[in-house]
Amino acid sequence: MLPAPRPTVLVAALLLLTTTGCSLLAVPTTRTPGGPAPVPPKQVVLSAAQGLDDAGGARIDVVQEGPAGRRTASGSLVWGAADEAGLAVTDELGTGRLTVKDGALDLVYQGGAAKHAERSTAESVDPAAGPDPEGFAGGWTTALITNPGSRAYEVAQGVKLTSLGGEQLAGVTVAHYRGSAPVAELFGKDDELSPQRRAATLDWYQRHGVTAIGYDVWVGPGMQLLRLRETVRGSAGTTVTTTDVSAPGAADATPAAGG
């Protein structure tokens, strides 16, 4: 679920969208005199985040590419009353299945290798993780088991987004927003993190020469959150993580089954 406080901000965003006739695809510099003002990117993304949060679940398809190679994950997440995930994962250690059930996380690779963690120590199952279960390994696993709506909410609140206008994605016209923020601003005052996790996160980015993180968000018709992208440029190169979001299909109905 989305972190508080959100109701006032999101209700205001929805009122803006429904009462002004604003176009979420409009670019501020192309406003027609006397016409409706474009919806601020923050309000669009907040509304899309709320809509996804209310849905209670989604299918995600994630691709990460960077100096360490290519990682992929696909499957479903459920949040709210339940806390479940079922994802097929491919990384440096091979192909496996990542499941979450009631806060317990299991990553089992083909061939029998298995890793176990709690949601709070999810980073410890990353192939690049250090010995400290409370450490940080770049955020890959955390992103896989987190409601994309919550991630979009944090981006909208912590990053100044600008509109890149409309573009085609999966055959439909969508709004594309982009922004970036310093690592210190994103994580230095994050109340959702314990002091230990906050320190570990900031230390990881510092050691890898990362000073800022870039974000792209795509929102489609009906205020649907369709894609999130995180771009991290560090001393070893650039790592790009793209998450495509869609409605869960029949095969995704029970994500924790068969984990």
The predicted structure's pLDDT at residue 132: 86
The predicted structure's pLDDT at residue 193: 82
What would the pLDDT profile of 165-202 be if each residue is shown by its tens digit?
A: 999 998 999 999 999 999 999 998 777 788 888 999 99
CB neighbour list of residue 223: distance below 8 Å, 6 or more residues apart: 17, 24, 44, 47, 48, 51
CB neighbour list of residue 177: distance below 8 Å, 6 or more residues apart: 41, 44, 45, 161, 162, 163, 164, 216, 217, 218, 219
The predicted structure's pLDDT at residue 88: 98
Mean pLDDT, 10 residues at a time, the chain of 259 residues: 47 40 45 64 97 97 96 97 94 96 94 89 93 90 97 97 95 97 89 86 96 98 97 97 88 47
Whole-prediction pTM: 0.85
Alpha helical stretches, state H, 39-79? 41-55
- Beta 104-109 vs 162-169: how paired, if at all? unpaired
Nearest CA to 217 out of 172, 151, 170, 173 is that of 151
The predicted structure's pLDDT at residue 200: 93
The predicted structure's pLDDT at residue 122: 95
Domains of the chain listed by start with CATH number: 7-73+147-252 (2.50.20)
The predicted structure's pLDDT at residue 34: 55
The predicted structure's pLDDT at residue 2: 63
